[in-house]
């Protein structure tokens, strides 16, 4: 195996025996093979695009395949074997479709040589493991080419996650599927460096468009998030804990638990669900339990009731954990030994009855903290406060905004973000989205004239909200460049959705982003040099030095 897609990769280089995340070599290799076959599907999908044909069903299949390989999403080898088999079948069907269209349009058979990803085929799944060893990241020998290809593929995984969430709510765009096909297919070609860089930048544009589509999907279905005080204590009722990002699962779980005597709590990236108007009508929707994803082995244990994982991040259980029988997965998530809730049939809903029945037999959650935290500061809500914010900036009450969005993780170096939040001058406001907020969202940081000093826009995909706010402020202040705003970017990253957000910010022209705790291990020195020269991306430094630089607009 060789995996370097997350921030915690071994020695910031690559995991070669077992992932720091806990991913076994066999699972990593099967994920590599799945990506390889998805590239083969993309070869034909990209060719069909030349004839103005986008196969939406296949596009969504590729999106979900990419999503499944995101860090901490799926640990079930049997699921990956099944997906590879299905991918080969779908690839050959798309190949036949392409060959027929090509012959019809050109009057002759297609006879060009194609990449192994588009031609390799076996019926025997027992051969998958051996094939998987030869198609991983290191199959691309040139370090800079490998870096650009993987930057693109890793960004596509993030885009795919957001596209899948939007599709679940009925929002899809052919151009998103079309670009994913084009971009995946490009990694099977020997392209000039400038073309590879152009595709990476195009991925940033598609990331913006995909997050905008998801924002439209979420707000159309559930309303615009509202400023909300979220309870972090517990009640004395049996309960279900739901984690991940999928709001459709949240909706269906709340409907099915209504009147059962079972409470529902959010965990991790599901916290922002508490701010959507459509969910507030459920009296048994209690609040949020615990913190970021990496603390789950302790928090899932003390919760006592069943846990539903709708997306990443799911971490392997420790030897002393006893909640596997209470762990349920759904969607792209999988874990060997955990029960999986099948996808909804068209027009139907998922069946959470088994989870509800189990919850009724469980003890209430153990209280681990009390109080409230405030969320709901997505773009619609912040823009409703625009006059107040602008007045505070003009009066000097707010000197600077610091965007501290992104991911949380286990490394001790991430205490940097807590220390920055604590040490920032009292006339600064933190803008956040994603689980990075758990490093400081429970600190008593106060407010500025009634404006909380931490404005939480929501999930990682809601970083789009922060971009909209920045663009609006640029317009209000009559500035020519987004980088003239009193906004600094101090971003924490962990997995592939954060990379998609980063590419989106680069596409929007944001410069001077601090990225930590480390720069991505998949970036070669030469690619880092390009990003530094073009976008002034920089690693985090010391808390004191970084705050001084940010307050000086550097």
Asked if the structure places residue 221 within a domain, the reply is: no
Question: CA-CA distance, 312 to 494, in Å (whole number)?
Answer: 12
Residues 161 and 283 in one domain: no
Query: What is the mean pLDDT of the segment spanning 3-11?
Result: 96
Residues 151 and 42 in one domain: yes
| Helix and strand counts by DSSP (H, E) for the chain | 19, 16
Residue 111, CB half-sphere, CA atoms under 13 Å: how many? 4
Q: Is the pLDDT score of 371 beyond 90? A: yes
Confidence label for 299 from pLDDT (cuts 50, 70 and 90): very high
Asked if residue 81 lies in contact with residue 201, where contact means CB atoms within 8 angstroms, the answer is no
CB atoms within 10 A of CB 315: 19
Residues 260 and 393 in one domain: no
Beta bridge partners of 375: 228
pLDDT at position 386 is 86
Residues 236 and 189 in one domain: no
Asked if the structure places residue 393 within a domain, the reply is: yes
pLDDT at position 464 is 86
Query: What is the mean pLDDT of the segment spanning 121-148?
Result: 96
Cis peptide bond prior to 517, omega within 30° of 0: yes
Asked if the structure places residue 370 within a domain, the reply is: no
Asked if residue 551 lies in contact with residue 399, where contact means CB atoms within 8 angstroms, the answer is yes
pLDDT at position 346 is 87
Distance of CA 474 to the CA centre of its chain: 27
Residues 331 and 412 in one domain: no
Question: Which parts of 50-76 fold into alpha helices (H)?
Answer: 56-68
Q: Which of 42-46, 241-245, 463-467, 503-507 has the lowest mean pLDDT?
A: 463-467
Asked if residue 445 lies in contact with residue 468, where contact means CB atoms within 8 angstroms, the answer is no
pLDDT at position 418 is 98
Residues 398 and 319 in one domain: no
Asked if the structure places residue 223 within a domain, the reply is: no
Q: Which two tokens stand for residue 415?
A: 């205490």
Residues 399 and 478 in one domain: yes
The 8-class DSSP code of residue 295 comes to G
Asked if the structure places residue 376 within a domain, the reply is: no
Query: What is the mean pLDDT of the segment spanning 121-132?
Result: 95
Q: Is the pLDDT score of 199 beyond 90? A: yes
Q: How many domains does one find in the chain? A: 3
Distance of CA 440 to the CA centre of its chain: 20
Question: CA-CA distance, 438 to 545, in Å (whole number)?
Answer: 23
pLDDT at position 451 is 93
Distance of CA 399 to the CA centre of its chain: 31
Which residues lie closer than 8 Å to 303 by C-beta, 6 or more apart? 239, 241, 265, 289, 290, 323, 365, 366
Residue percentage of the chain with pLDDT more than 90: 96
The 8-class DSSP code of residue 42 comes to H
Question: CA-CA distance, 263 to 188, in Å (whole number)?
Answer: 49
Which residues lie closer than 8 Å to 523 by C-beta, 6 or more apart? 147, 151, 531
Concatenating the DSSP letter of every residue in 140-152 gives S-SHHHHHHHHHH
Q: Which of 197, 166, 174 is nearest to 67 (CA)?
A: 166
**Element containing residue 449 per DSSP (H, E):** none
Residues 388 and 271 in one domain: no
Query: What is the mean pLDDT of the segment spanning 140-157?
Result: 97
CB atoms within 10 A of CB 537: 23
Domain boundary among 325, 360, 395: 360
Confidence label for 56 from pLDDT (cuts 50, 70 and 90): very high
Please report where in the chains the tokens 């999930």 appear, as a residue. 459
Domain boundary among 307, 328, 360: 360
Give the chain's radius of gyration (CA, Å): 23
Residues 519 and 473 in one domain: yes
Question: CA-CA distance, 203 to 505, in Å (whole number)?
Answer: 11
Backbone angles phi, psi at 488, to 5 degrees: -115, 155
Residues 535 and 389 in one domain: yes
Asked if the structure places residue 249 within a domain, the reply is: yes
Query: What is the mean pLDDT of the segment spanning 353-358?
Result: 98
Asked if residue 466 lies in contact with residue 433, where contact means CB atoms within 8 angstroms, the answer is yes
Burial 40-77 (b: 16+ CB within 10 A, else e): bbbbbbbbbbeeeebbeebbbbbbbbbbbbbbbbbbbb
Host domain of residue 280: 228-360
In this predicted model, what pLDDT tens digit does every residue of 403-461 receive, in sequence order? Answer: 999 999 999 999 999 999 999 999 999 999 999 999 999 999 999 999 999 999 999 98
Asked if residue 487 lies in contact with residue 403, where contact means CB atoms within 8 angstroms, the answer is yes
Asked if the structure places residue 213 within a domain, the reply is: no
CATH classification at residue 135: 1.20.1270.20
CATH classification at residue 264: 3.40.50.2030
Asked if the structure places residue 340 within a domain, the reply is: yes
In this predicted model, what pLDDT tens digit does every residue of 213-237 receive, in sequence order? Answer: 999 999 999 999 999 999 999 999 9
Residues 162 and 28 in one domain: yes
Query: What is the mean pLDDT of the segment spanning 364-383?
Result: 95
Give the three-state DSSP class for 59.
Answer: helix
Give the three-state DSSP class for 327.
Answer: strand
CA geometry: angle 164, 506, 374, nearest 5 deg: 65
Q: Which of 351, 515, 513, 493 is nearest to 409 (CA)?
A: 493
Asked if residue 324 lies in contact with residue 260, where contact means CB atoms within 8 angstroms, the answer is no
CB atoms within 10 A of CB 179: 24
pLDDT at position 437 is 97
Confidence label for 258 from pLDDT (cuts 50, 70 and 90): very high
Q: Which of 30, 207, 218 is nearest to 128 (CA)?
A: 30
Residues 509 and 393 in one domain: yes
Beta bridge partners of 266: 242, 288
Which residues lie closer than 8 Å to 153 by C-beta, 6 or more apart? 35, 183, 184, 187
Question: CA-CA distance, 230 to 22, in Å (whole number)?
Answer: 32
Residues composing the chain: 554
The dihedral sign for the CA sequence 134, 137, 141, 145: positive
Mean pLDDT value across the chain: 96
The dihedral sign for the CA sequence 505, 510, 513, 519: positive
Query: What is the mean pLDDT of the segment spanning 63-89?
Result: 98
Query: What is the mean pLDDT of the segment spanning 165-170?
Result: 97
Give the three-state DSSP class for 507.
Answer: helix
Please report where in the chains the tokens 């997350």 appear, as a residue. 6
Q: Which two tokens stand for residue 51?
A: 């004839």
């Amino acid at each position: 195996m060789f995996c370097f897609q997350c921030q915690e990769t071994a020695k910031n280089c690559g995991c070669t025996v077992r992932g720091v995340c806990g991913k076994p070599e066999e699972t990593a290799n099967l994920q590599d093979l799945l990506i390889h076959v998805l590239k083969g599907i993309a070869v034909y999908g990209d060719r069909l695009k030349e004839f103005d044909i986008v196969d939406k069903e296949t596009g969504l299949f590729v999106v979900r395949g990419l999503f499944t390989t995101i860090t901490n999403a799926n640990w079930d080898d049997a699921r990956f074997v099944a997906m590879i088999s299905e991918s080969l079948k779908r690839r050959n069907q798309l190949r036949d479709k392409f060959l027929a269209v090509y012959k019809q349009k050109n009057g002759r058979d297609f006879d060009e040589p194609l990449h192994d990803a588009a031609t390799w085929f076996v019926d025997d799944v027992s051969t998958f493991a051996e094939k998987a060893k030869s198609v991983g990241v290191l199959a691309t020998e040139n370090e800079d080419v490998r870096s650009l290809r993987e930057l693109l593929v890793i960004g596509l995984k993030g885009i795919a996650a957001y596209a899948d969430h939007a599709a679940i709510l009925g929002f899809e765009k052919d151009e998103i599927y079309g670009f994913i096909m084009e971009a995946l297919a490009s990694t099977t070609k020997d392209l000039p460096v400038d073309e590879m860089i152009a595709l990476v930048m195009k991925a940033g544009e598609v990331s913006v468009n995909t997050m905008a589509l998801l924002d439209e999907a979420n707000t159309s279905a559930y309303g615009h998030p509202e400023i909300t005080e979220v309870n972090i204590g517990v009640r004395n009722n049996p309960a279900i804990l739901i984690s991940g990002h999928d709001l459709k699962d949240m909706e269906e779980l709340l409907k099915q638990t209504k009147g059962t005597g079972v409470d529902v709590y959010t965990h991790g990236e599901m916290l922002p669900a508490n701010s959507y108007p459509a969910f507030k009508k459920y009296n048994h929707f209690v609040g949020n339990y615990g913190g970021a994803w990496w603390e789950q082995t302790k928090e899932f244990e003390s919760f006592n009731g069943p846990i539903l994982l709708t997306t990443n991040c799911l971490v392997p259980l420790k030897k002393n954990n006893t909640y596997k029988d209470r762990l349920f997965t759904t969607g792209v998530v999988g874990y060997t030994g955990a029960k999986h809730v099948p996808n909804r049939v068209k027009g139907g809903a998922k069946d959470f009855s088994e989870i509800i029945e189990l919850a009724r037999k469980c003890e209430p959650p153990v209280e681990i903290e009390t109080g409230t935290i405030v969320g709901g500061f997505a773009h619609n809500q912040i823009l409703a406060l625009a006059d107040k914010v602008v007045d505070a900036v003009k009066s000097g009450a707010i000197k600077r905004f610091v965007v501290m969005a992104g991911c949380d993780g286990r490394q001790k170096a991430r205490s940097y973000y807590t220390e920055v939040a604590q040490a920032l001058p009292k006339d600064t406001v933190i803008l956040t989205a994603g689980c990075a907020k758990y490093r400081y969202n429970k600190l008593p940081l106060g407010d500025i004239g009634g404006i909380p000093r931490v404005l939480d826009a929501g999930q990682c995909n809601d970083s789009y909200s922060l971009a909209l706010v920045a663009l609006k402020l640029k317009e209000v202040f009559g500035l020519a460049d987004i980088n003239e705003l009193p906004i600094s970017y101090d971003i924490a990253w962990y997995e592939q959705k954060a990379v998609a957000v980063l590419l989106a910010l680069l596409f929007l022209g944001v410069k001077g982003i601090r990225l930590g705790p480390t720069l991505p291990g998949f970036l070669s020195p030469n690619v880092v040099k390009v990003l530094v020269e073009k976008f002034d991306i920089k690693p985090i430094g010391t808390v004191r030095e970084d705050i001084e630089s940010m307050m000086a607009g550097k």
